[in-house]
C-alpha cells in the first residue's frame, strides 16, 4: 500500500473544483484507508486560471505547461480535465512517463484518439480511469447489483435520457463545446456519453445504433462581441439501440431541453421486475418485483443510505442524501483504490470509454445516413470470466 499519492491536474476550468474538492475530502471520509493525498501541481494554458485555481483549491504549485505534470518525477497520478481534443496528447504523454491517468469523458474528440489512448493505457500497466461519475453513483450501482443478482430477471429493455437546458438559451455564447473539431460532438458526446455509459453498465455493450439529430441554433456569438461563429454539433440526438444481449433500448441526449435542469433518468424493464431512476431525485431508486403479492405489488421507493454500494463512507442514515460533490469522491476513491491495490479490474476504464466513443461515432453516422450502424470491437462491459 502506498503511503502517499502525489497528484497533478491539467485544466483549471469548471471541473477543477469538483476534482479538487473530492481529493481534499477523501482522506477524512475514508480514514484511515486512504494514503496521504498531495495536491502537487495544477496546469492550465491560461496563467490566471492556473494560479487562481491552485490557490483557491489548495494545489501547491501552478504552471502553464502540462508537461511539467505529465513528465514530473514528483507526480504519481495525472488528472486530465481539459477540452476533449487535448485529452489524447496529454494522457498518452502521462502514460509514457509512467503515470496513472484519470481522464474526463468523453475519452477523446476523435475515435482515432480514443483508440490510441485505450491501446497505450492497456500496454502501460498503469491505472486508467474515466470519470463516468454518474455510473458510479450509489443508486445506479445498486441498480446494477440488483440486475446482476437476477432481481429483475432478464433485462430486456432500457429507456434513458440525459436532458439539460443550458443551451436552450440562444444568447449562450459560443464555447469549445459547440465546435466539432474540439468537442467531437455536441449533446451526443457531452451528455450522451454518460447515459450511453449507464446503459452499457446495466445492459452490456451495444451492437448497433440508429439515430436522429437536430441542431437548433446554427450560430452563437463569441463572448463579449457581436461576432457570430457557426455551431458545428448537435443540440439533440435521439437514438435507438440494440444491445449485444438482444435487448432493445432508446437513449436520448439534449442540452437544449427547455425546463430540464439535470434530468438524467432511465428505466430498465426485465422479465421479472423493473427499475427506475431520476437524477433529480438521486437518493431514490424505484424497484418493482413480480415476486410481490399481486394485490400489493407496485414500484417501491428505496431511499439510499450507508448500506448501499459506494455510500457507506458518507452518511449512514437513509434519506440524508448525497449530492453532486460526493459523486466525485466515489470516482476518486475508485482511482485511489486501483492504484493502491494494483488491481487490473478497475472501472470505468479506457476500454469501456472507447466502446462509448464508438457508440457516439455510430450515432453521429447513423443520424447522417438515416440507417443502423454496427459497433465493432469487443464488449468491455461483458461480465469478467476470470
Ligand X SMILES: NC(=O)c1ccc[n+]([C@@H]2O[C@H](COP(=O)([O-])OP(=O)(O)OC[C@H]3O[C@@H](n4cnc5c(N)ncnc54)[C@H](O)[C@@H]3O)[C@@H](O)[C@H]2O)c1
- Distance (Å, rounded) from C-alpha 121 to C-alpha 71? 16
Indicate which single residue of 62, 63, 131, 283 sits in contact with ligand X (rule: CB under 6 A). Answer: 131
CB of 356 to ligand X, least distance (A): 12
Please report whether residue 44 would count as binding ligand X according to CB under 6 A. yes
User: b or e along 201-228 (b: 16 or more beta carbons within 10 Å of the residue's beta carbon)?
Assistant: bbbbbbbbbbbebebeeeebeeeeeeee
String of contacts with ligand X for each residue 201-230, x by CB under 6 A:
------------------------------
Write out 307-367 in H/E/C secondary structure: CCCCCCCCCCCCCCCCCHHHHHHHHHHHHHHHHHHCCCCCCCEHHHHHHHHHHHHHHHHHH
Please identify, among the stretches 6-14, 143-151, 265-273, 378-386, the one whose residues bind ligand X according to the rule CB under 6 A: 6-14
Please state the length of the chain: 386
String of contacts with ligand X for each residue 363-382, x by CB under 6 A:
--------------------
Going by C-alpha positions, the residue among 172, 178, 37, 197 that lies closest to residue 107 is 197
- Distance (Å, rounded) from C-alpha 208 to C-alpha 373? 5
In the bound state with ligand X, the residue whose beta carbon lies nearer, of 17 and 244, is: 17
C-beta separation of 264 from 139 below 8 A: no
Indicate which single residue of 10, 39, 54, 275 sits in contact with ligand X (rule: CB under 6 A). Answer: 10
Please report whether residue 323 would count as binding ligand X according to CB under 6 A. no
Please report whether residue 105 would count as binding ligand X according to CB under 6 A. yes
Indicate which single residue of 83, 306, 309, 321 sits in contact with ligand X (rule: CB under 6 A). Answer: 83
Please report whether residue 263 would count as binding ligand X according to CB under 6 A. no
Indicate which single residue of 7, 57, 66, 142 sits in contact with ligand X (rule: CB under 6 A). Answer: 66
Please report whether residue 30 would count as binding ligand X according to CB under 6 A. no
Please report whether residue 237 would count as binding ligand X according to CB under 6 A. no
> Judging by DSSP bridges, how do beta strands 219-221 and 228-230 pair with one another?
antiparallel
Please report whether residue 82 would count as binding ligand X according to CB under 6 A. yes
Please report whether residue 129 would count as binding ligand X according to CB under 6 A. no
In the bound state with ligand X, the residue whose beta carbon lies nearer, of 254 and 289, is: 254
Indicate which single residue of 20, 63, 84, 237 sits in contact with ligand X (rule: CB under 6 A). Answer: 84
- Nine-digit cell string for 155: 433485462
Please report whether residue 104 would count as binding ligand X according to CB under 6 A. yes
Please report whether residue 45 would count as binding ligand X according to CB under 6 A. yes
Indicate which single residue of 5, 6, 8, 11 sits in contact with ligand X (rule: CB under 6 A). Answer: 11
CB of 175 to ligand X, least distance (A): 7
CB of 354 to ligand X, least distance (A): 15
Indicate which single residue of 34, 75, 133, 152 sits in contact with ligand X (rule: CB under 6 A). Answer: 133
Category of 280 on φ-ψ map: left (φ > 0), alpha (ψ -120 to 50) or beta: alpha
For 299, other C-beta atoms within 10 Å of its C-beta total 14
Query: Number of residues in contact with ligand X, rule: CB under 6 A?
Result: 22
Helix (H) or strand (E) holding 122, with range, is: helix 111-124
What is 174-220 written as a DSSP string?
A: P-GGG-HHHHSSSHHHHTHHHHHHHHHHHH--EEEEEEEEE-S-SEE
CB of 281 to ligand X, least distance (A): 18
Which residues does 79 contact at the CB level (< 8 Å), separation at least 6? 7, 8, 9, 10, 11, 19, 101, 102, 103
In the bound state with ligand X, the residue whose beta carbon lies nearer, of 222 and 307, is: 222
Please identify, among the stretches 4-12, 195-203, 285-293, 367-375, the one whose residues bind ligand X according to the rule CB under 6 A: 4-12
CB of 95 to ligand X, least distance (A): 17
105: which DSSP letter?
Answer: S
Please report whether residue 52 would count as binding ligand X according to CB under 6 A. no
Please report whether residue 335 would count as binding ligand X according to CB under 6 A. no
C-beta separation of 281 from 213 below 8 A: no
The strand order across the sheet containing 4-10 reads: 61-63, 36-43, 4-10, 77-80, 100-103, 128-130
**Interface residue list for ligand X (CB under 6 A):** 10-15, 43-46, 49, 66, 81-84, 86, 104-105, 131, 133, 190
Amino acid at each position: 500500500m502506498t503511503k502517499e499519492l502525489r497528484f497533478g491536474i491539467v485544466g483549471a476550468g469548471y471541473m477543477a473544483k469538483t476534482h479538487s474538492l473530492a481529493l481534499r475530502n477523501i482522506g477524512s471520509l475514508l480514514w484511515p484507508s486512504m494514503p496521504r493525498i498531495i495536491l502537487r501541481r495544477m496546469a492550465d494554458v491560461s496563467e490566471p486560471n492556473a494560479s487562481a485555481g491552485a490557490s483557491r483549491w489548495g494545489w501547491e504549485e501552478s504552471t502553464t505547461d502540462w508537461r511539467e505534470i505529465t513528465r514530473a518525477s514528483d507526480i504519481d497520478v495525472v488528472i486530465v480535465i481539459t477540452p476533449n481534443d487535448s485529452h489524447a496528447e496529454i494522457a498518452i504523454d502521462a502514460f509514457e512517463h509512467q503515470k496513472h491517468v484519470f481522464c474526463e469523458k468523453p475519452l477523446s474528440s476523435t475515435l482515432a484518439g480514443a483508440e490510441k489512448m485505450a491501446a497505450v493505457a492497456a500496454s502501460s500497466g498503469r491505472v486508467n480511469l474515466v470519470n463516468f461519475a454518474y455510473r458510479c453513483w450509489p443508486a445506479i450501482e445498486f441498480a446494477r447489483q440488483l440486475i446482476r443478482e437476477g432481481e429483475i430477471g432478464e433485462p430486456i429493455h432500457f429507456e434513458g435520457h440525459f436532458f439539460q437546458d443550458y443551451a436552450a438559451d440562444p444568447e449562450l455564447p459560443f464555447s469549445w463545446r459547440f465546435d466539432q473539431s474540439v468537442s467531437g460532438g455536441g449533446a451526443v458526446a457531452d451528455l450522451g456519453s454518460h447515459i450511453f455509459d449507464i446503459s452499457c453498465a446495466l445492459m452490456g455493450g451495444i451492437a448497433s445504433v440508429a439515430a436522429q439529430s437536430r441542431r437548433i441554433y446554427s450560430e452563437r456569438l463569441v463572448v463579449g462581441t457581436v461576432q457570430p461563429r457557426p455551431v458545428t454539433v448537435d443540440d439533440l440526438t435521439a437514438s435507438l439501440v440494440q444491445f449485444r444481449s438482444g435487448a432493445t433500448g432508446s437513449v436520448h441526449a439534449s442540452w437544449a431541453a427547455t425546463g430540464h435542469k439535470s434530468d438524467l433518468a432511465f428505466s430498465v424493464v426485465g422479465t421479472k421486475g423493473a427499475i427506475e431512476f431520476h437524477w433529480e431525485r438521486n437518493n431514490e431508486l424505484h424497484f418493482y418485483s413480480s415476486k410481490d403479492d399481486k394485490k400489493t405489488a407496485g414500484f417501491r421507493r428505496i431511499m439510499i443510505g450507508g448500506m448501499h454500494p459506494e455510500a457507506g463512507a458518507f452518511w449512514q442514515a437513509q434519506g440524508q442524501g448525497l449530492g453532486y460533490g460526493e459523486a466525485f469522491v466515489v470516482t476518486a476513491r475508485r482511482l485511489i483504490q486501483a492504484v493502491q491495490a494494483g488491481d487490473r479490474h478497475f472501472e470505468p476504464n479506457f476500454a469501456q470509454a472507447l466502446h462509448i466513443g464508438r457508440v457516439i461515432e455510430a450515432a453521429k453516422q447513423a443520424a447522417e445516413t438515416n440507417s443502423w450502424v454496427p459497433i465493432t470491437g469487443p464488449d468491455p462491459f461483458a461480465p469478467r470470466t476470470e
